Structure 1
Amino acid sequence: MVESKTIATQPYYDQKPGTSGLRKRVKIFQQKYYTENFIQSVMHAIEGGSQGATLVVGGDGRYYLDQVMQIIIQFSVAAGIKKLIVPQHGLVSTPAGSHLIRKYKATGGILLTASHNPGGADKDFGIKYNVRNGGPAPENVTNKIFDISKSLEQLHYADLPHVDYSQIGTQTIGTMEVQVIDGVDDYVDLMKEIFDFEAIRYFLQENKDTFKLLFDGMHGVTGIYGQRLFVQEFGLAKEKSLMRAKPLPDFGGEHPDPNLTYAHELVERVEKEQIDFGAASDGDGDRNMVLGKNAFVTPSDSVAVIAHYAREAIPYFRKNGVNGLARSMPTSRALDLVAQKQQLEHFEVPTGWKFFGNLMDAGRCSICGEESFGTGSDHVREKDGVWAILAWLSIVVHVNKTKPGTSIYDILQDHYKIYGRNFFTRYDYEEVESKKATELIQHLQDLSIVGQTFDGFTVSDVDDFEYRDPIDGSVSSHQGIRIMFKDGSRIVVRLSGTGSQGATIRLYIEKYSNNPSEYAMETHKALGPLIQVALDISRLKSFTGRDKPTVIT
């Protein structure tokens, strides 16, 4: 007999979920009833009510996962949830979680992750609610969760012993069923429907002595997917093809963010060992990085190249076609050029994957991407790091059928010859005092510089990006300051909501070139003058007191 209890609680007033859920330091979640309050608020906000609902529950393996899993189980029983679908050991990547929600037609899902943020007792945790389409909860749902959290007075939970979800199978707790599944199987089956596994396997085996592949799981959740794909499916040697593939609660003390700064060990190995195909994914598997000998694929270029080759190299798009393309506003306009050449509808949306989800559900977007190392398609409603890596591997395999020996560098250069090159970089200033960050944005909003020239760059327009969703008509304002120049260059400044404390200022710099003599230039050399213009106009050093950014990508 399962006993349900009701106890009094006091509301917290800082539980407003961002675009990717509620992210805080672990110690904040460990405050009395803090986590319980938020889970209770989610239970009250479930579409159609919690009674009889089915939820997918799991996370990226970070510190505090099991404790929160137990709380979710206790509160689900009391809320009348009919069924929980739990991947073995509670481990699931965010895109794989999205797939499970869609495949099993669940009411929604609770994903326990702070994505690319560090993990550990003194680091970050996160709780994210996804709705029945598999995507992040839209603003009306997150606002409802927040409103409930601010007036919560009672908690309802079932008094349960520790529930084991390490073994595949089904157990009944009170009136609720807990089904523990092998979530990796489901995800790999989906990838087999999208990509030509036989062609990839054949290429890797035929070239095993000359083509080197190295996947870096960064001690995040995708290590278990990398093991299944690259070793079991494609037949590569584990010791040569995988690094940091075991998920760890603190990600090995590292920052599980796949960029040139935090994945430096992979970058160094690619250069030293002359790796042909290097790839990394982040803590929860929704981000990716691809690089090769003398070549780093920027996320902006990555989605553009995938879109260019999609119908040629990827069976899923040969079968279903490409209905449209979309990118986040700060992402370079390289994807727009592909859309124009292929006569495809394309969209510029605010940062946040939910905006892509609306377009996908309406059948108007097939491939999309963000400059923050997120790339995906309409196979799920989250960005998908492993999918992007397999897409690039498929492109390499496809091109090498007719042009053996073609490298990632060659693929990029060939792309630039068709479309020109959008040089792009991002400067992150992390944990800036919130007041200073707000003052900087106000400074940019007050600028009156249209028509002025800065070191040869003449300003053509300045605005604060606003997006009207073509599907539901909703308006998203103040999404980032854009400074446009007459030659097509851009500067964008926005505040990010993915950090757990303070403010993160992101500065984006983009310069377009259709001069073939510049295509092989090093990015920061090509962007040098415009970077200085961006720093001068924004007065970033003055506002932040920082001589240099925390991270450059």
Structure 2
Amino acid sequence: MIETVATTPYSDQKPGTSGLRKKVRVFQQPHYAENFIQSVFDVVEGKAGATLVIGGDGRFLNREVIGKAIRMAAANGFARVVVGQGGILSTPAASNLVRRRGAIGGLILSASHNPGGPDEDFGIKYNIANGGPAPEAITDAIFRRTTTLDNYRIAAAPDVDIDTLGTSEVAGMTVEVIDPVADYADLMERLFDFPAIRAAGLSMAFDAMSAVTGPYAVEIFERRLGFAPGTVRNAVPLEDFGGHHPDPNLVHARALYDAMMAPDAPDFGAASDGDGDRNLIIGRGIFITPSDSLAMLAANAQLAPGYAVGLRGIARSMPTSAAADRVAAALGIPAFETPTGWKFFGNLLDAGMATICGEESAGTGSDHVREKDGLWAVLLWLNILAATGRSVAEIAREHWTRFGRNYYARHDYEGVDSAAADALMRDLRAALDTLPGRGFGALTVVEADDFAYRDPTDASVSAHQGVRVLFEGGSRVVFRLSGTGTSGATLRVYLERYEPPVGDLAAETGAMLADLVAAADAIAGITRHTGRTAPDVIT
């Protein structure tokens, strides 16, 4: 039996760069999750008889909302739902599953790297048939539908047992519960040289942060690659991530960093985030920034079987350092600069214009799926280490000696009053025309703009994607507000200084960026607008 339930719209269901993210208490309001899911289904065309993938990162509320989503899919005409056992699917694994099964799309229940638990965060994201996040045209349509919705449809049936592998039926729709790890692990084994990695004798520490990649990492690293039991730390996904903040950066993965800086550190250290799409790379005694990691992976990707034919192009988000651009130039392939948000890479990947993509926010991936992929990045690093016999530090030094070094950091000011953050960006944009030619300490501004992107595949334009201030000599500062939080605003300030191969390639990053930090505050009035004298997180 199908029920039509009367409801009233919520005014705050506009998806951000990675779906709708709010506090759990917001999603627990009557009909809140159902309203958003119905709005997604109302916008999706061709759902009658189609397959839908559903899964999430295991955070609090995951199972409850999956039960509702399955029964709503049955009431909205889908023929089949494929769901990960226990409701678990990492974001890259979900993308792979959508593509492999020919699904019309997928619902990914996650707030990515945000904390989980009854008082923390939850999210719902819709991915389209290519396995990637819905583009702005679709998310805008979903939001418009949320503002007018007056009912949703749901099957009056018990929740499906999602802990038992196999198939069942809800209101005439097939529900298939699958092993969430197997298909993804098989894909990784096709892309990378597992025998070479096994034979290399490497030691490793991987922190799954009590999040979704635990089962994937145990299967791939410990079982298939033969790393010692216990290589994967915090391997069991927990609804509150064990109290961790599952963001793989040097603040929230401090224990891993400290272990990798110790005299007895393993050869390689890595971590992933809440839903498995981000990564942290640390060698013995050396942290590799996400921007450098993208460039180094691209420069050496041909060492892995899945990329032996070479790359078609490299894409990076605008705030990501230009290190990858220099690799593209050396390889004679295109380099693309896009707005922040993985969905902007999807068109380039689908058009065969790019092979490897990356964002400074610890997201790296390739055309194997249409999401960033934390374990993929870790495996490509392991493949490179195995193929070259070199350490992470040696790979980094050789790279900088060839291409030069982009000293780079991101300063996050979290939970800033939204009105204050908006005022800062508004004043900054109003001052753009006055900045060129002005000096800030030893730095002189040569250009300042509000970044806009014209997609080379469909000519769509995305404006107001972040303010860029460029200085003589190639240094720059970028300011933007993040769309991944659930309360207040996060101001992100990106700082970059390029040193050519003949420059100082082994200096401390903070010292090299000190003049840019001062210039950023003077230009944007960060302290004046926010009251903050220092960032909450530096990555």
Normalising by structure 1, report the TM-score. 0.96
Q: Give the match for residue 392 of structure 1.
A: 381
Q: Identify the match of residue 240 of structure 2 among 250, 254, 264.
A: 250
Q: Identify the match of residue 328 of structure 2 among 336, 339, 350.
A: 339
Q: Identify the match of residue 48 of structure 2 among 34, 48, 51.
A: 51
Q: Quick check: 269-278 or 27-36, which moved more?
A: 269-278
* Closer, same or farther: CA 493–214 of 1 in aligned 2, 3 Å: same
Q: Give the match for residue 533 of structure 2.
A: 547
Residue 238 (structure 1) shift: 1.6
Q: Give the match for residue 299 of structure 1.
A: 290
The alignment status of 1:215 with 2:206, answered yes or no, reads yes
Q: Deviations over 1:314-364 (max 9, x none)?
A: 111114x31111100000000000011111111000001111100000000
Residue 132 (structure 1) shift: 0.2
Q: Identify the match of residue 258 of structure 2 among 268, 287, 291.
A: 268
Residue 42 (structure 1) shift: 1.1
Using the aligned pairs only, state the percent identity. Answer: 51
Q: Identify the match of residue 509 of structure 1 among 481, 495, 499.
A: 495
Segments ≥4 residues shifted beyond 6 Å = none
Residue 517 (structure 1) shift: 5.5
Q: Identify the match of residue 99 of structure 1 among 96, 99, 105.
A: 96
Q: Give the match for residue 512 of structure 2.
A: 526
- Report the Cα distance in structure 1 between the residues aligned to 2:404 and 2:484, rounded to whole angstroms: 32
The 8 Å contact of residues 400 and 501 in structure 2, kept in 1 or not, is answered as no
Q: Quick check: 452-461 or 387-396, which moved more?
A: 452-461
Q: Deviations over 1:154-179 (max 9, x none)?
A: 12111111211111111122210011
Residue 261 of structure 1 aligns to which amino acid in structure 2?
V
Q: Quick check: 416-425 or 519-528, which moved more?
A: 519-528
Q: Deviations over 1:122-153 (max 9, x none)?
A: 00000000000000001111111111111111
- Report the Cα distance in structure 1 between the residues aligned to 2:45 and 2:195, rounded to whole angstroms: 41
Residue 47 (structure 1) shift: 2.7
Q: How does 1:407-422 map to 2 (within 5 A)?
A: 407-422=391-406
Q: Deviations over 1:21-61 (max 9, x none)?
A: 0000000000011111111111111132x321210000000
Q: How does 1:46-445 map to 2 (within 5 A)?
A: 46-48=44-46, 50-203=47-200, 207=201, 211-239=202-230, 241-272=231-262, 273-311=264-302, 313-319=303-309, 321-400=310-389, 406-445=390-429
What SS does the aligned partner of 1:428 have?
Answer: strand
Residue 17 of structure 1 aligns to which amino acid in structure 2?
P
Q: Give the match for residue 468 of structure 2.
A: 482
The alignment status of 1:11 with 2:9, answered yes or no, reads yes
Q: Give the match for residue 482 of structure 2.
A: 496
- Report the Cα distance in structure 1 between the residues aligned to 2:313 and 2:341, rounded to whole angstroms: 18
- Report the Cα distance in structure 1 between the residues aligned to 2:346 and 2:159, rounded to whole angstroms: 36
Q: Give the match for residue 403 of structure 1.
A: none
Q: Deviations over 1:75-113 (max 9, x none)?
A: 111111100011111111101100000000000000000
- Report the Cα distance in structure 1 between the residues aligned to 2:441 and 2:175, rounded to whole angstroms: 63
Residue 271 (structure 1) shift: 2.0
- Report the Cα distance in structure 2 between the residues aligned to 1:274 and 1:70, rounded to whole angstroms: 44
The alignment status of 1:35 with 2:33, answered yes or no, reads yes
Residue 439 of structure 1 aligns to which amino acid in structure 2?
A
- Report the Cα distance in structure 2 between the residues aligned to 1:298 and 1:354, rounded to whole angstroms: 22
Residue 235 (structure 1) shift: 1.3
Residue 516 (structure 1) shift: 4.3
Residue 268 of structure 1 aligns to which amino acid in structure 2?
D
- Report the Cα distance in structure 2 between the residues aligned to 1:7 and 1:407, rounded to whole angstroms: 60
- Report the Cα distance in structure 2 between the residues aligned to 1:536 and 1:291, rounded to whole angstroms: 33
Residue 93 of structure 2 aligns to which amino acid in structure 1?
A
Residue 298 of structure 1 aligns to which amino acid in structure 2?
T
Residue 73 (structure 1) shift: 1.2
- Report the Cα distance in structure 2 between the residues aligned to 1:154 and 1:243, rounded to whole angstroms: 45
Across the two proteins, how many residue pairs are aligned to each other? 536
Normalising by structure 2, report the TM-score. 0.98
Q: Quick check: 384-393 or 444-453, which moved more?
A: 444-453
Residue 156 of structure 2 aligns to which amino acid in structure 1?
D
What SS does the aligned partner of 1:44 have?
Answer: helix
- Unmatched tracts of structure 2, length 5 or more: none
Residue 275 (structure 1) shift: 2.2
Residue 515 (structure 1) shift: 5.1
Q: Deviations over 1:270-301 (max 9, x none)?
A: 22342220000000000000101221010000
- Report the Cα distance in structure 2 between the residues aligned to 1:169 and 1:69, rounded to whole angstroms: 17
The alignment status of 1:451 with 2:437, answered yes or no, reads yes
- Report the Cα distance in structure 2 between the residues aligned to 1:414 and 1:187, rounded to whole angstroms: 32
Residue 57 of structure 1 aligns to which amino acid in structure 2?
I
- Report the Cα distance in structure 1 between the residues aligned to 2:32 and 2:503, rounded to whole angstroms: 57
- Report the Cα distance in structure 2 between the residues aligned to 1:384 and 1:301, rounded to whole angstroms: 16
Residue 54 of structure 1 aligns to which amino acid in structure 2?
T
What SS does the aligned partner of 2:86 have?
Answer: helix
Residue 245 (structure 1) shift: 0.8
The 8 Å contact of residues 13 and 146 in structure 2, kept in 1 or not, is answered as yes
Residue 229 of structure 2 aligns to which amino acid in structure 1?
K
Residue 513 of structure 2 aligns to which amino acid in structure 1?
L
Q: Identify the match of residue 538 of structure 1 among 521, 524, 528.
A: 524
